[in-house]
């Protein structure tokens, strides 16, 4: 059996239609897309990925993605154009009627059908069922992955490791989280006020805060800030950003880099700026840390913000944003985690559970690596 063409069923779930085509041992020469009119844009996104890999594309349209008889007739029209064994059906995508109708036609004519297991990232043969399945290679990188969901990476932070001096700085803060917790809220506020001017005056209360003084001393020792009388001066905009929570994002990114090989992470990025179109208008999102593992997208949001006491909806916006982004940019199999320097209230913990978003907060942070490994595996 020499399969050189895949028939895919275009739907909102892009990953199962991409990964088989990017595995060199399974890659076809051509892909035919079974497309309904409402999925034309998603077909464009998929085609842009295929063509970069040298795979030819064509489209076979259906009028109604829910009419089994109509879909069966359209698939039958298509299948007769190919020699026996040269065309295989990827039955993973599409509506249920699309998948059922296409499978029935292929099975009745004894043509090959496979399915991509969403959890195992593995090809399973539905027909002939005795054919052995295979694991798919983790070939896809972040730019192609986002492209398949209609998004483009327009900017991202460097992919270098974390400098030793900064590792010592962040480890000091993380390991003494209760000591620095309140002071971090203060310095975040000051860094925010310094946007554009790189300096801000401390009031009498802030000048007398020994916890804040110790935190400023930490950042000062790394030439990020300096204190002249009552004026806090940032070295540059990058330093201001770092003090204003960038250090926490870098810390999380560094830990992910440390476990990259062990966990089998195939691509990783930090401060990833992603642009996509929504109702013909550009929408920009920034992902603090994001990576791919087994062709599945993981998104991490890093927060140093201190939430107000007794605010039942304190983290709601962040959690809902994460839930939306993981669906839009990664489909059903994407996973998200909120890593917060501050405590979260019970309402937010419950909300995160309802949205299937993992959490690592406050005094859990010294064991963040263990949380990440458990979450990934």
Rounded distance between C-alpha atoms, residue 83 and residue 5, angstroms: 10
Instruction: Indicate the pLDDT class of residue 159, thresholds 50, 70 and 90.
Output: confident
Q: Domain of 218?
A: 178-243
pLDDT in tens, 222-233: 999 999 999 999
Q: What is the pLDDT of residue 323?
A: 96
> For residue 335, is it within any domain?
yes
> For residue 131, is it within any domain?
yes
Predicted model pTM: 0.91
Whether residues 278 and 344 fall in one domain: yes
Instruction: Indicate the pLDDT class of residue 312, thresholds 50, 70 and 90.
Output: low
Q: What is the pLDDT of residue 1?
A: 57
* 348-to-314, 315, 318, 328, 359 alpha-carbon distances in Å: 7, 6, 10, 22, 10
Whether residues 284 and 362 fall in one domain: yes
pLDDT at 10 over 90: yes
Q: Are 357 and 336 in contact (CB under 8 A)?
A: yes
What average pLDDT does this structure show over 55-83? 96
Whether residues 91 and 182 fall in one domain: no
Whether residues 20 and 92 fall in one domain: yes
Whether residues 117 and 191 fall in one domain: no
C-alpha distance across the termini of the chain, in Å: 36
> For residue 168, is it within any domain?
no
Whether residues 39 and 115 fall in one domain: yes
How large is the greatest C-alpha to C-alpha distance in the chain, in angstroms?
84
Mean pLDDT score of the chain: 93
Q: Which residues pair with 317 in a beta bridge?
A: none
Q: Are 375 and 335 in contact (CB under 8 A)?
A: yes
Whether residues 259 and 235 fall in one domain: no
Number of domains in the chain: 3
Q: Among 116, 4, 7, 114, which Cα is nearest to 58's?
A: 7
Whether residues 220 and 118 fall in one domain: no
Nearest-Å Rg of the Cα atoms of the chain is: 25
Higher local confidence (pLDDT), 268 or 83: 268
CATH number, domain of 331, equals: 3.40.1350.10
> For residue 55, is it within any domain?
yes
Whether residues 112 and 236 fall in one domain: no
Whether residues 289 and 366 fall in one domain: yes
Q: What is the pLDDT of residue 36?
A: 95
Whether residues 65 and 121 fall in one domain: yes
Instruction: Indicate the pLDDT class of residue 343, thresholds 50, 70 and 90.
Output: confident
pLDDT in tens, 270-285: 999 999 987 778 899 9
**Phi and psi torsions of 162, nearest 5°:** -85, 125
pLDDT in tens, 247-269: 999 999 999 999 999 999 999 99
Most confident listed range (26-35, 81-90, 342-351):
26-35
> For residue 146, is it within any domain?
no
Can you read off the two tokens belonging to residue 74?
A: 């359209």
Q: What is the pLDDT of residue 209?
A: 96
Whether residues 217 and 269 fall in one domain: no
pLDDT at 359 over 60: yes
pLDDT at 169 over 80: yes
Instruction: Indicate the pLDDT class of residue 97, thresholds 50, 70 and 90.
Output: very high
């Amino acid at each position: 059996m020499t399969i050189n063409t895949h028939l895919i069923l275009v739907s909102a779930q892009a990953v199962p239609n991409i990964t088989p085509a990017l595995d060199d041992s399974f890659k076809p020469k051509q892909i035919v897309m079974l497309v309904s009119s409402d999925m034309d844009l998603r077909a464009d996104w998929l085609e842009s990925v295929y063509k970069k890999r040298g795979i030819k594309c064509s489209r076979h349209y259906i009028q109604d993605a829910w009419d089994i008889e109509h879909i069966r007739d359209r698939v039958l029209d298509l299948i007769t154009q190919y020699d026996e064994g040269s065309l295989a059906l990827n039955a993973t995508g599409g509506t249920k009627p699309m998948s059922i109708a296409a499978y029935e036609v292929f099975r009745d004519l004894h043509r090959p059908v496979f399915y991509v297991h969403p959890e195992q990232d593995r090809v399973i043969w539905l027909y002939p069922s005795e054919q052995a399945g295979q694991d798919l290679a983790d070939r896809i990188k972040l730019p192609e992955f986002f492209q398949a969901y209609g998004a483009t990476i327009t900017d991202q932070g460097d992919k270098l490791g974390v400098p030793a001096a900064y590792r010592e700085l962040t480890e000091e803060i993380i390991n003494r989280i209760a000591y620095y917790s309140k002071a971090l809220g203060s310095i975040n506020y000051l860094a925010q006020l310094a946007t554009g001017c790189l300096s801000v005056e401390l009031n009498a209360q802030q000048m007398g805060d020994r916890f804040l003084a110790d935190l400023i001393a930490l950042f000062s020792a790394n030439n990020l800030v300096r204190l002249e009388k009552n004026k806090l001066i940032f070295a540059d905009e990058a330093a201001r950003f770092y003090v204003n929570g960038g250090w926490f994002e870098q810390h999380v990114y560094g830990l992910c880099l440390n476990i990259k090989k062990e966990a089998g992470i195939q691509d990783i990025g930090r401060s990833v700026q992603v642009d996509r179109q929504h109702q013909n208008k550009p929408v920009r999102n920034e992902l603090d840390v994001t990576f791919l593992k087994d062709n599945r997208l993981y998104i991490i949001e890093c927060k140093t913000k201190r939430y107000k006491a007794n605010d039942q909806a304190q983290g709601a916006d962040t959690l809902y944003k994460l839930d939306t982004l993981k669906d839009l940019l990664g489909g059903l199999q994407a996973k998200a985690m909120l890593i917060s320097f501050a405590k979260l209230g019970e309402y937010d913990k419950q909300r995160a559970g309802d949205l299937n978003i993992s959490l690592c907060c406050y005094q859990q942070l010294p064991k963040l690596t263990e949380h990440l490994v458990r979450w990934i595996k």
